[in-house]
Chains A and B, each alone.
Chain A
Amino acid sequence: MAHRFLAAALAAACFAACGDDGSGAEPDADIGDAMAGGRLLLEDCGYELVTRDGASAPRLGDPVLGGDPAPRQVRLGLAGDPATSMVVLWRTGNEDSVAPTLATEVRYGTAGNLDQTATGATYHYVAGFGGNGEHVRIHETHLCGLQPDTEYTFEVGGGDGAAEAWSATHTFRTAPLPGSADAEVVFAVVGDTRDGYDTWTAVATQIATHAPDLVLFTGDAVTIGQLQFEWESFFDSAAELMATTPVISAHGNHEINAINFYSLFAMPGDEENFGLRYGPAHIVVLNDSPVDSGALAGRSADLLDEEMTASADAPWKFVMHHRSMWSASNHGSDETLRGHWGPIIDRHQVDMVLSGHDHNYERSKPMLGDAVAETPDRGTVYVVSGSAGAGLYDNGTGFWTEVSEKRHGFVILRVRAGMLEMTAYASDGTQIDSLTLLASE
């Protein structure tokens, strides 16, 4: 889906739809649409929902039900301030038909009520290579103006009153305000599910027992980004987790910058390189396999620097991307990335860098430059969490390695202003590693 633009200049009416050329014409949502992307102003949120080349322009949902309107793959994303907004996405059936379901409503509220309604947008893309695959329709509703640190109940679907189709009800909780003294946020860090969707099911089930607020996915959800059947497995395998927990994903090299990736997740900014403040944590997500590799030293590095400068007050700083900068396994340490981003990470004293790519778990000693930091509190800990399903690689050890383990698993981060607890688990719940960092003045 979406990319978000700060919308000081966007003052049109609520949900004003405008074409890619800014003509204001409402785009056609039929199968025959030009698949050149487009944008839709979400005035309540103050930004635009933008689809990319390869997808239709987003259009406001209509109370129209197709042949198979039952919502499926209900899941959450983040595009705006996580303390006051949430994105709900889902799919319906008969996506290839000329009369698909267009109803895109969310009923939601606090204290178990469903007394508020929001209408979202719908668009579709063509999976596969060369526009020859199946049509995949996304329903996407952005809920804005929510109360911080509050639990909401919601259901998705819609209809014209005479005929309606709704999902089961689910819940989510908004992020606490950044200055909250006591609030703890829980992140699950996981990646590289490709090929191993049954293991991913087990991992997701284990993750759900920790009730995370946010899943940070380190990339490579699928083996080939254009193949829709893999994405179906990816989302179906973790349906329960994703219906209650938003997911932010780094782009992995196996996603191949496919339209599927950019349509199936809802993330801030251009969905490749962006920053996100979630309670006491500031997270910068970077695409380390962009279409133009020059972006690594350019746009990505600039954004990393800007985000870290702007978030200097954040108690904890994280960077997430896919290819590990420090790894003793198959792929090894990516020295190109370290050359581009390492000095920025060091300068801003980033606490933890999260990645995947090598299919195992590894935690580095605190690193500064190309060496282990002389004083631990000056270094950055690099964590490889890339073992959520793909065939495991042998783990190794380098001079930087603190712990490494060849097991399927995930990492749980519990973050509050004064403390960061990291625990690595295997998919069966075995504890692999733990680390506690306490903030000092």
Chain B
Amino acid sequence: MSRSLRGTLLAIAFAVLGAGGARADESPAFYEAAAAMADGRYAMAASAFEALAARNPDDPFADDALIEAADLYEHRLGDPLRARQLYRRVVDAYPDSRVSRRARRRLEVLGRALGEGAEHAGALARYRSILTEYGEVGPIASIRTMEALLVEHPEFPLAAEARLWIGTTYQQEARLDEALGWFRAVQERHPGTEIAWRAGRAEGDVLLARGDFDAAEAVYRSLAEVEQPALATSIAMALEEVERVRQRARQARLAWIVVALFAAAMLVLARRDVGSWTGAGRALLRPPIEFWYLLPVAAIVAIAAHTDNQLVADAVTTIVAGALGVSWLSGATLEAARRRGPLGLGRIAAQAAAAGLAVLAICYLALMQDLLLDLLEHTRRFGHE
């Protein structure tokens, strides 16, 4: 079937029925309202849907029109009370209809958010509009609106969800300090709730992302006492993740130490061979002949690695750049030594071993970056992606 995208459709199927289906009287009106909805003319669409149901309540499309109108009032038009009325009408007037199940479910959701009365309707309308218009409004403006909502409606039944939402959105924006603040606020203000548990989990995730392993582990352990087995499994897996990342960080530190020791060793050797620190520095700044041999090879490899997969491209570039740097330092040191006289086999072997070790350390750092190491492990276990 051909079809048109939102905003571009002119020809609407007034009755797209399968074989044997009866043409419904209100089908054209329903799809006219649907076209208005697709174009973003929500108020007009809601009115048209309601009019259809009022005009012909026995039409097969009447219940569908009512629930479409209710959905628009709840999510697009900021009128949860009207939405609740219409959902109730669907349940009462069309209890066996297909959409009755959804109407009952939405009534439960609205009931939790509104309570029995209407005092939180305004807050709920704003809350819903923040969630619905997030894409157009943007994260920071949405956060400001949500913060204002919490100030103006401190008793809003969905305050815990709203606070968690702010924390998560800050986290999404990589503003981790603000995110942590909100996650902790949720746990303090709404202790013992499922939302507080989620905020704790999010706090642990942020701490882990920042490399604060002990704090992350402490938070996760505080969440482990939970009745739901699935949540307990998640925490157990999170604790495993802390240990894995902690081990990786240790290995990364070790790799950096190896690289730093190598550079320092080259400087000390050059100092010994040249006789002064200034001379050593000058000797190391002069690229050795092997550097010029390797440079085009490294450039070609780096360019060739720039495929669709940015992770691979970044890692290969880091490795060839690092290896080039090692060959520079090592080669420059050897050239300085050769000026003093012929080199012994032991010196050459030791220097080659040191350079090899430094290159391995750089490889590890490059692969660990952006979790490429995980991707390689993943490919080993689960096959080529």
Q: Is the CB of A173 within 8 A of B3?
A: no
* Interface bracket on B: 35 or more
* A347 touches B (CB below 8 Å): no
**CB-nearest residue of chain B to A393:** B371
Which residues of A (174-215) have their CB < 8 Å from a CB of B?
176, 178-184, 186, 195-202, 208-211
* A254 touches B (CB below 8 Å): yes
Which residues of B (1-60) have their CB < 8 Å from a CB of A?
1-6, 8-9, 11-24, 27, 30-31, 34-35, 37-38, 60
* A316 touches B (CB below 8 Å): yes
Enumerate chain A residues within 8 angstroms of B13, measured Cβ to Cβ: 417-418, 438-441
A210-B102, A437-B3 as given contacts; A418 in contact with B230, CB under 8 Å: no
Bound state CA distance, A406 and B201, in angstroms? 18
What's the nearest-Cβ distance from chain B to residue A245, in Å? 10
* A155 touches B (CB below 8 Å): no
* A218 touches B (CB below 8 Å): no
**CB-nearest residue of chain B to A323:** B385
Which residues of B (276-320) have their CB < 8 Å from a CB of A?
308-309, 311
* B222 touches A (CB below 8 Å): no
Looking at the complex, which one of B34, B98, B235 makes contact with A149 (CB distance below 8 Å)? B98
Question: What 0/1 readout, one digit per residue, does chain A (150-178) give for beta carbons within 8 Å of chain B?
Answer: 01000000000000000000010100101
Q: Is the CB of B60 within 8 A of A438?
A: no
Bound state CA distance, A229 and B385, in angstroms? 25
Looking at the complex, which one of B15, B96, B109, B228 makes contact with A236 (CB distance below 8 Å)? B228
Specify which of B12, B18, B24, B375 lies most central, judged by the most chain A CB atoms within 10 Å of its CB: B18
* A142 touches B (CB below 8 Å): no
**CB-nearest residue of chain B to A429:** B131
What's the nearest-Cβ distance from chain A to residue B328, in Å? 33
Q: Which of B164-172, B335-343, B352-360 faces chain A?
A: B164-172
Q: Is the CB of A436 within 8 A of B6?
A: yes
Q: Is the CB of A332 within 8 A of B5?
A: no
Q: Is the CB of A182 within 8 A of B24?
A: yes
Q: Is the CB of B60 within 8 A of A377?
A: no
* A92 touches B (CB below 8 Å): no
Q: Is the CB of A428 within 8 A of B164?
A: yes
Enumerate chain B residues within 8 angstroms of A224, measured Cβ to Cβ: 381
A233-B234, A236-B228, A439-B3 as given contacts; A431 in contact with B34, CB under 8 Å: no
Enumerate chain A residues within 8 angstroms of B382, measured Cβ to Cβ: 253-254, 256
Q: Is the CB of A438 within 8 A of B102?
A: no
Number of A-B contacts (CB under 8 A): 191
**CB-nearest residue of chain A to B108:** A209
* B383 touches A (CB below 8 Å): yes
* B99 touches A (CB below 8 Å): yes
Enumerate chain A residues within 8 angstroms of B138, measured Cβ to Cβ: none
Q: Is the CB of A198 within 8 A of B198?
A: yes
Looking at the complex, which one of B19, B37, B105, B231 makes contact with A208 (CB distance below 8 Å)? B105
Question: What 0/1 readout, one digit per residue, does chain A (234-265) give for beta carbons within 8 Å of chain B?
Answer: 10110000000000000001101000000000
* A407 touches B (CB below 8 Å): yes
Q: Is the CB of A437 within 8 A of B98?
A: no
What's the nearest-Cβ distance from chain A to residue B9, in Å? 5
Which residues of A (379-432) have their CB < 8 Å from a CB of B?
406-407, 416-420, 428-432
Bound state CA distance, A151 and B102, in angstroms? 12
Enumerate chain A residues within 8 angstroms of B105, measured Cβ to Cβ: 208-211
What's the nearest-Cβ distance from chain B to residue A100, in Å? 20
Which residues of B (333-385) have their CB < 8 Å from a CB of A?
375, 381-383, 385
Looking at the complex, which one of B9, B133, B164, B381 makes contact with A438 (CB distance below 8 Å)? B9
A173-B98, A289-B383, A437-B6 as given contacts; A179 in contact with B18, CB under 8 Å: yes
**CB-nearest residue of chain A to B75:** A431
* B106 touches A (CB below 8 Å): yes
Q: Is the CB of B6 within 8 A of A435?
A: yes
* B73 touches A (CB below 8 Å): no
**CB-nearest residue of chain A to B20:** A179
**CB-nearest residue of chain B to A244:** B101
* B233 touches A (CB below 8 Å): yes
| A-B CB contact pairs (8 Å), 12 listed | A181-B15, A182-B24, A182-B64, A200-B230, A209-B106, A211-B104, A233-B233, A237-B230, A428-B131, A431-B134, A440-B4, A440-B11
**Top 10 closest pairs, chain A to chain B, by CB:** A179-B18, A436-B38, A198-B234, A237-B230, A211-B102, A182-B60, A211-B105, A233-B233, A236-B230, A179-B21
Interface residues of B (CB under 8 A from A): 1-6, 8-9, 11-24, 27, 30-31, 34-35, 37-38, 60-61, 64, 75, 96, 98-99, 101-102, 104-106, 108-109, 131-135, 161, 164-165, 168, 172, 198, 201, 228-231, 233-235, 237, 308-309, 311, 375, 381-383, 385
* Seed contacts A313-B19, A333-B308; 7 additional CB < 8 Å A-B pairs: A180-B18, A209-B106, A233-B234, A236-B229, A407-B172, A431-B135, A438-B3
